[in-house]
Structure 1
Amino acid sequence: MKIFLLAAEKTKKALEAAAALAETYKPHIVAGMGDADVVVVLGGDGTLLHALHEVIALGRDLPVFGLNRGSVGFLLNEYRERGLLKRIEKAHRVTLHPLKARIKTVSGEIREAYGINEVSLLRETRQAAKIRITVDNTVRMKQLICDGLIVATPAGSTAYNLSANGPIIPLNGNILALTPISAFRPRRWSGALLPNGCDIKLDIINAVNRPVSAVADFTEIRDAESVRIREDRKLSLTLLFDPELNLDERILKEQFMF
């Protein structure tokens, strides 16, 4: 088994853990991700997200086994130095499909970006954003006045989406969360749950005078005019979890934390 270690660069305990694993499993460690059979991530959820984006850039489905050396570590396993090879061999696999966003800017530029957690629209100035929401070619909301809007995957439902009072979705849930950020009109609209196979189009009304940024995880594209979002079923990402790690229990517990 060839292992590529990826640690949070600014986290001391992650770097120390990576050094310990590199020494313990020296014959199995490779210098490049492209030569690996598995990526072992040491850090938190943000580091895991960066690793998954590197796997996308690599162009092949390389499984990722996360070890929590960060703060929250919602999608990571408990860190233990011993027994790593057996843990990886016995790990439970979860497949993720990221969102693919196609963004058109006010200048006519077309950009594409992937969102493993979410794709969000955020106002760039003090003025509220005005967004028209279309799902599968049907206009569902002519005008949402808000600070922004989030389209979250199940994996991302416990991140920014949860902070905006969006719902938590099980990892195997075939739905997406559409969650407004500080909605002004309609004031009581709290969002929607959409089938994961739907086509979502978000048009920014008066995009020149009310500029909006489109953000897919770490990629920000400013002055968006329209954003088309779909789950990319052709692209698979594999997370590895210890069999005893009860993700359903973790998700249930998260919903009762105050």
Structure 2
Amino acid sequence: MIKVASYNMRKSIGTDRRRRPERTLEVLLEVDADVIALQEADRRFGTREAVLTANLLAEHSPWKAVHFGMRARSMGWHGNALLVRKDAEILACEAIHLPTLEPRGAVMADLRVNGSPLRGVGMHLDLSGLWRRRQAHAILSHLAACTPRMPTVMMGDLNEWSAERGCLHDFAQHFAFAPTGKSFHARRPMARLDRIMASPELEIGDVGVHRSLAARTASDHLPVWAELRHR
């Protein structure tokens, strides 16, 4: 079993408007997933430095960041990052460039977690429905061209308010959605903006939205999680 999670951490700025990376880490420790896709993990301006520093992760967490080599002080690419257990093996990784009018991207890593292979993709899609669909097609096309084929989980903030239209329809042609529940807004969840999707090689087990007191104040999104098993 592999536990995965997705969290739009909002640059560690909570609903109290305070930036507290330690509080973000507290939420992640509560979720305790093997693989975590983060959105808005880097600061927006300047060097785009990571909010959760390497020292903070090394000294106070069981995870390491997958390094994509895009910016020296960033954790990921356009705010998208992947965390994995320190004993997980990172076989390959790359950033995925997406069609967009504003900075958007996705990240992908081939992993060996708990002895099993897993391809993980993290994303944060556009506010525009038209561009979301174009980005979904770009990600799906990129995955279709990847060799070898691997069991794949895709996670992130899709910014899709509809229940099954738009980019959800496109992803659903190839992936199953984990029924995690509503994750936005953190104080009063009304929408399923944050999603976890699994390829046919994976069976979705227990799922949920993490609703602790810390999670309700650490970001405007709640983390979503799912347990996956290889078929």
Question: Do both proteins adopt the same fold according to a TM-score greater than 0.5, normalized to the shorter chain?
Answer: no
Task: Please state which structure has a larger fraction of its residues in strand.
Answer: 1
- TM-score (normalizing by structure 1): 0.24
